[in-house]
Structure 1
Amino acid sequence: MKVSKGAIGKLLICGCVSLVLVASNSFASAFHPVSQSKTIFVKIKLNTNAGISIEKAALKYNKRMAYSFMLDDGYRSAFLCAYPLLNGGKISAPFIDGWQKDQGGDGSLSKGLFFSDGCGNSIPFRMGIAINAASLTETPENRGSLSWSEVKTLYNSGWDILNHSYHHSTKHGTNYSEEVRENGTAVFKGLGFQMTQFIVPGGEGDSGYQDEYAKAAFDNGIVAVGTINGAGPVIKVDKPVNLNRLVYQREFIKSTSDKEFTDIDQHLHKIDLLLKQPEVLWYNEFTHGVGNDNLWDISLTFPDFKYYMTSIAKRYGLGGTDNLWMAPWQEVYEYIWLRDRIKINTKRNGQDVTLEVILPDIPASFRHAAMSFHLKTTSTFIVISQSKDMKVTTNGKEKHSLMNIQLTK
């Protein structure tokens, strides 16, 4: 993929058009709503008679920037190295796969990398994995690709799984629609969930094949496509975002220098600059492998990857400014989708304040139904009642500025 070299200011986009979900063919059932539009509520009691206003937070947990990182092609180093580093656990020792590539790491024990939900709870860094189901296998022991069970573990840990075509086919004669459908069907059958995001595979192909892949993805119920053009890799999100048939590009990152972490420091500098912008932003990057070898020369070596992720956590995660939301693309997409469609009302009776949230129909294929609200008040507060089937967290007894709602059904 060609990496954009333009100035940060030229990368910012925004829009204000509502999303229209279009489903067709075998994936149509994926967009049946979970429930009809309904109203939920949270009632809080202020400790004083101070004024209060409640606004929708631009990003979950009211963070300054969303940062999405994706690993393409489903290489095993995602599970051996990236997952334990971020989630906490034993990182693989050097591991020579069937391609004679080292997809292992340094064998160390990671405590995990975290940011906070703004209400006293730690959230581990999570990523997205773009997979080709045809490559998923449980054997042999030295396989270079992820297994079905490993993908399931990643998914159950909050990582998002994206459709990357069934065979990673790009050459002349590829049936793009079949590649999208077959991959979606295989994952639904094998793991029980519907992929809603598509990443166009890279490789040799007819001129404009990426656009044909994107069209095939949308025609088969996909809601967003990552490819070599479109919005991003930096997207402005402090106003309503046009998610209608969203095509986006990502920043490609790989190890290219023998100089210790020189390239990675440049990427860290860019994140620092983005976090200093006045707008609320969404930035996403990708690579392929993250093991000790630079797999196919399109990957990050594990030392570079570890340095990058631990530096981000120290600077902008729980141990630093804690203003970065490290979450997969699908999770951020679904937060913005819901944020731009809910309507809120605030009612007050003395020191009792009720927040009413009118929900839209939420597609059954969406997995992240969460909302955050910024409360402007000088008073502390407590939650005294709420609707059922949701979890509410606040910092009402401390900074009295944040409320997070997670729908549980």
Structure 2
Amino acid sequence: MKIPQFRIKPFLLAILLIINGVFLCSANALNKTIDPPKSKFISFKIKLKSAEKVKIEAASLKFNKHLAYSFTLDDGYRSAYLTAFPLLNGGKISPKNINEWKNDQGGDGTNSKGLFYSDGLGNKIPFKLGLAINGATIGDFSAYRGHLSWAEVKEMYDTGWDILNHGLHHATKHGTNFLTEVTENTTSIKQNLGFTMSQFVVPGGESDPGYQLEYERDALANGSFSVASYKGRGPVINVNEKVNLDKMIYARTFVQSSKDTIGFKTMDRFLATFDSVAKLPNPIWYNEFTHGVGNGNLWNLSMRFPDFKYYMTAIANKYGSKGNDFIWMAPWQEVYEYIWLRDRIKINYQQKDKEVIVTVEVPEIQETFRYRAISLTIETPSKFEIESKESNFAISSDGKINHKLINIKLNE
């Protein structure tokens, strides 16, 4: 039977209105979920002494260094504060200090002037390390405790050392709730120190095969941008081109003392490897790890303080501000965040005679990021000065000396 035409039109119209309404609602909802991140812009003027054409781009590494070197101390042992911190930052190194495990976590009792690299503009910056800690072990339990206190961790953090998630209890055995270890350690550090960790280091120890995969999965799904584990990228990462940091898993390389305590032959072998890395033609990022750095080789998984001092001093003398100044000695999180930002900014500049207007588009940055800095290289034979009336960033350069480098620190 043929349906009359006047009955078809209202029916179709109703259906179309319903479909169209659903589509519009879905489109609006979709727009809300895929709105692009908010960018902001910073700009400044470069005033040249001559009118030759300039070239400006983001430096591969902060301060336009050749080698980013990150060194992490696992497990939050107190020797980090007693020996490594004063050696690198400058201060009184602890003398012999026997802890609750009858192990000496002290050093040689000397005064250190610190170990430094420069910001490329003549300002010295002390070497800084990362600390992978377990919140459940941190506290003022006794004067002979083997682990750090909250006050000690905070002091190191406040001077630029980074704190990495290492699980709440350093749990690895059968039955471990890996998700809880990750999330509750994040909560512990947030409650006691006031910030949220963003990098995870898989704890080692007695375990079921493949346990690290569960840590990796749960860490990356719950706030960690990258994970140090047993297998993965590294130990050398070429940063000359864009680096894929998405859910990055990094393979740890440990520096440890040998049973032979005569001389520094073991450290010399590690230094030979370091030298070969530093000689690579492209800018690179290199990571190393250890555990304790006291006089005793804690659990035979550590560096004795004499070895640690010898190793770090040799690197500083050759590659720091006393040497060729090739090194950017910064913790893992700081380097990660620089590269992330470097690969996402957009630099635009227009030159008219002796003036260059530079505009940098900065993407929305994660709240848990600690660092918001970028270095620019500028190719010009001319000396220059920088003018800026903006207050949302600080800028410095070597325009009157080498006229090659511009350092920018964004305000939060």
Same fold (TM over 0.5): yes
SS in 2 for 1:368: coil
Structure 2 CA distance for aligned equivalents of residues 98 and 206 of structure 1: 29
Alignment of 1:331-346 (within 5 A): 331-346=334-349
Q: Are 2:316 and 1:313 equivalent residues in the alignment? A: yes
Alignment of 1:379 onto 2:382: yes
4+ runs deviating over 4 angstroms = none
1:220 is matched with 222
Rounded to whole Å, the distance in 1 between the matches of 2:278 and 2:82 is 30
Contact 2:220-2:226 within 8 A present in 1 as well: yes
Any conservation in 2 of the 1:264–1:304 contact (CA below 8 Å)? yes
Task: Give the SS at the match of 1:375.
Answer: strand
What are the equivalent positions in structure 2 for 1:134-153 lying under 5 Å apart?
134-153=136-155
- TM-score normalized with structure 1 length: 0.90
**Matching residue of 1:8:** none
Tell me the distance in 2 between the aligned counterparts of 1:102 and 1:95: 5
Verify the 8 A CA contact 1:131 1:165 in the aligned structure 2. Answer: yes
Q: Is the 8 A contact 1:43 1:386 kept in 2?
A: no
Relative contact order, higher structure (CA 8 A, sep 6+): 1
Q: Tell me the equivalent position of 2:236.
A: 234
- RMSD of aligned alpha carbons: 1.0
Question: Match of 1:351?
Answer: 354
Taking the TM superposition and a 5 Å limit, the aligned residue runs for 1:28-177 are 36-177=38-179
Opposite residue 139 of structure 1, the aligned amino acid is F
Any idea what the Cα deviations from partners look like across 1:94-143, whole Å, max 9, x if unmatched? 11111111000001111110000001111110000000000001120111
Is the contact made by 2:394 and 2:410 (CA closer than 8 Å) also made in structure 1? yes
Partner-residue secondary structure (3-state), 2:189: helix
Residue aligning to 2:210: 208
Alpha-carbon distance between aligned partners in 2 of 1:286 and 1:361, rounded to the nearest angstrom = 31
Measured in 2, the distance between the counterparts of 1:113 and 1:408 equals 28
3-state SS of 1:42 partner: strand
Query: Which residue of the partner structure matches residue 32 of structure 2?
Result: none
The DSSP-based 3-state class of the residue aligned with 1:251 is coil
Instruction: Decide whether aligned partners of structure 1 residues 386 and 321 sit closer, same or farther in structure 2, where only a CA change above 3 A counts.
Output: farther
What SS does the corresponding residue of 1:396 show, helix, strand or coil? coil
Work out whether residues 96 and 108 of structure 2, in 8 Å CA contact, stay in contact via their aligned partners in 1. Answer: yes
Q: Deviations over 1:3-62 (max 9, x none)?
A: xxxxxxxxxxxxxxxxxxxxxxxxxxxxxxxx9311111211111112210011000000
CA distance in 1 between partners of 2:345 and 2:389 (Å): 17
Give, in whole Å, the separation in 1 of the partners of 2:319 and 2:335: 18
Aligned to 2:276, which of 261, 264, 273? 273
SS at 2:216 equivalent: helix
Output the CA distance in 2 between the equivalents of 1:204 and 1:344.
49
Which residue type is aligned with residue 232 of structure 2?
Answer: G
Distance 1:153 1:347 in 2: 44
- 1:243-301 CA distance string (max 9 Å, x none): 11100012111000323111111111112111211111100000000000000100000
Classify the secondary structure of the residue corresponding to 1:78.
Answer: helix
SS of residue in 2 equivalent to 1:310: helix
Kindly provide the amino acid, as one letter, of the partner of residue 170 in structure 2.
H
Asked whether 1:404 is paired with 2:407, we answer: yes
The amino acid that maps onto 2:331 is P
Worse-superposed segment, 260-269 or 328-337:
260-269
Could you give the per-residue CA deviations for residues 52-92 of structure 1, whole angstroms, max 9, x where no partner exists?
Answer: 10011000000001000000000000000000000011010
- Count of residue pairs brought into register by the alignment: 375
Query: Partner of 2:303 in structure 1?
Result: 300
Amino acid at match of 1:191: L
SS in 1 for 2:388: strand
CA–CA distance in structure 2, aligned partners of residues 277 and 355 of structure 1:
32
TM-score, L = length of structure 2: 0.90
Distance 1:246 1:123 in 2: 28
Letter in 1 for 2:114: G
Decide whether the 8 Å contact of 1:170 with 1:201 is kept in 2.
yes
Please tell me whether the aligned partners of residues 53 and 351 of structure 2 are also in contact (alpha carbons under 8 angstroms).
Answer: no
- 1:325 corresponds in structure 2 to 328
Q: Secondary structure at the match of 1:252?
A: coil
Residue aligning to 1:13: none
1:260 has 2:263 as partner: yes
**What is the rounded CA distance, in whole Å, between the counterparts of 1:177 and 1:155 in structure 2?**
25
Q: Which runs of 5+ in 1 are unaligned?
A: 1-34
Asked if 1 retains the 8 angstrom alpha-carbon contact of 2:225 and 2:248, the reply is: yes
Whole-Å separation in 1 of the counterparts to 2:299 and 2:72: 17
Match of 1:185 among 180, 187, 192: 187
Question: Are the equivalent residues in 2 in contact too, given 1:51–1:378 (CA < 8 A)?
Answer: no
- What's the CA shift for 1:327? 0.3
User: What are structure 2's unaligned runs of at least 5 residues?
Assistant: 1-36
